[in-house]
Amino acid sequence: MNIDAIDLTRKLVNIESTSYHEGAVGEFLAEYLAAQRYSVERMAVAQRDPALKPGEDVGERFNVYAALPGVTPDVVLSTHMDTVPPFFGCTEDDEFLYGRGTCDAKGIIAAQVAAAEQLREAGVKVGLLFVVGEERDSAGAKVANENPRGSRFLINGEPTENHLALATKGALRVELHAHGRMAHSAYPELGESAIDKLVESLHDVLAMELPIEPEFGEAGKTTVNIGLISGGRAPNVIPDKAEAQILIRTVGPSQDVKDAITRVVRGRAEVTSSLDLSCIRMRRVGELPTMVAKFATDIPMLPAWGEPFLLGPGSIHVAHTPDERISKKELLACVDLYVELATSLVK
Ligand SMILES: [Zn+2]
C-alpha cells in the first residue's frame, strides 16, 4: 500500500503535541501503524511536565516503536513527536504545508512511515521509533536507549534540507557563579562586587580562542551565547552574587572547552555544567549531498540503536518560528532518499 506522506503530515500537525503533551499524537500513530500490520509497542516515559500543578494531568506519554512482527530490524527510522509551543494547525497552498511541526518533525514522521512501507515491501527489515521530549530534555530518547531492539543503523530525522549530515555540533551549557561581599555602595572598598567579577570573566570568555574544525566548513566554529545573566540586590548595594548561563556549540571534545573556561575565569567565578551533548561525526553514503548540522538532536542519546545518520526535509531556519512550513515536493523527495539510504546501508 502506498502511503500519502502529505496527507499524513496534515493529520499529525493538527494534533497538538507540544513537549509533555504527546499522548494524543502517540495514540494516533500507534493505531495508524497497527492498522498497517506493524507490531506496535508503547514505551512509557514517566517524566511529567514540571509546570503542572499537583493533581493536574495531561495523560500518559510514551514513545512509539513499530516493527515487523517477530523481526529484529536492521535499520530504524526515527524522529520526535513533540513540538515547541505555541501550537497552530495545518494550512496549505500548492507548494507548502504550514503549521507547527510541519518540518520539525511531523513531516519527517510521515516521510519515514511512507519510506518504511516501501522498504518492507522490498524485503528490508525496517523499524520505526518516534520519541517524546526531544525539544526539552530528550526524556523519550533516554528511555528508548535503555530498550534497544537490535538494529544496526539508526536514521534520525531533523530538517537538513534533504542533505545527509556529516556531523552534528555538540551543545555544552555552563554556568558561571561569582561571589562577593555586600557593602554600602558609597564605600566600595568595604565590599567585593560579584557582578564586576562576573562581567570581567564574561569579557574574557568572549575573547577566548575556541576550537575550529575546518572539515565542517562554515559550521566549523565553536560559538558562544551568553543567554542569561542574573545577580545583585539594589543599585546602592555592592552585589554579593551574580550568575551567567552560557550555551556553547562545540565542534570537538567538550572537556577542552570546559577546562579552558575554568582556566580563564579562575579566581573570579566557579564553573558548573548542566548539559553536555557531544559533537557527533557521521559517515558519507554514496552520492547524497552533505551538510553539518549546527543544532542538537537526540542522536547522542541513542547510541544503543546502531550507527547514526541524520537526514530530513525542510529547513531548520523556519523550525520553532511562526513561519514553520515544509515544501510538499521536498517532503516527497525525502521518502525516496530514506528508501535509498536505508537500502544502501543494509546491502
Ligand atoms: Zn526537531
* Other Cβ atoms within 10 Å of 301 Cβ, number: 22
Could you tell me the pTM of the whole model? 0.89
Give the whole-angstrom CA distance, residue 326 versus residue 8: 13
Query: Ligand 1 center to residue 96 CA distance, Å?
Result: 18
Query: Ligand 1 center to residue 190 CA distance, Å?
Result: 51
Give the whole-angstrom CA distance, residue 151 versus residue 138: 20
Query: Ligand 1 center to residue 125 CA distance, Å?
Result: 25
- Which parts of the chain sit beneath pLDDT 50? none
User: Residue 38: its pLDDT value, please?
Assistant: 97
User: Residue 122: its pLDDT value, please?
Assistant: 97
Query: Ligand 1 center to residue 296 CA distance, Å?
Result: 9
The domains of the chain are located at: 5-168+280-346, 170-277
User: Residue 48: its pLDDT value, please?
Assistant: 77
Give the whole-angstrom CA distance, residue 21 versus residue 83: 9
Residues 6+ apart with CB under 8 A from 144: 43, 63, 65, 129, 131, 302, 305
- Answer whether 289's CB lies under 8 Å from 164's CB: yes
C-alpha cell at 345: 546501508
Query: Ligand 1 center to residue 347 CA distance, Å?
Result: 29
Q: 239-254 burial, b if ≥16 CB within 10 A, otherwise e?
A: bbbbbbbbbbbbbbeb
Q: Can you state the percent helix, strand and coil of the chain, rounding each to 5?
A: 30, 30, 40
The amino acid at residue 231 is G
DSSP, residue by residue, 19-72? TT--HHHHHHHHHHHHHTT-EEEEEE--PPPTTSPTT------EEEEEESTT--
User: Residue 333: its pLDDT value, please?
Assistant: 98
Q: Model confidence over 168-178: pLDDT tens digits?
A: 999 999 999 99
Query: Ligand 1 center to residue 150 CA distance, Å?
Result: 24
Mind telling me the catalytic residues?
134
Closest C-alpha among 147, 148, 118, 130 to residue 12: 130
Superfamily of domain 5-168+280-346: Zn peptidases (3.40.630.10)
Q: What is the DSSP letter of 25?
A: H
* Other Cβ atoms within 10 Å of 219 Cβ, number: 19
User: Residue 49: its pLDDT value, please?
Assistant: 80
* Other Cβ atoms within 10 Å of 75 Cβ, number: 25
Which CATH architecture group holds 170-277? 2-Layer Sandwich (3.30)
Query: Ligand 1 center to residue 310 CA distance, Å?
Result: 11
Q: Which helix (H) or strand (E) holds 203?
A: helix 194-207
Give the whole-angstrom CA distance, residue 56 versus residue 239: 39
Query: Ligand 1 center to residue 268 CA distance, Å?
Result: 37
Beta bridge pairs of residue 226: 246
C-alpha cell at 114: 511512507
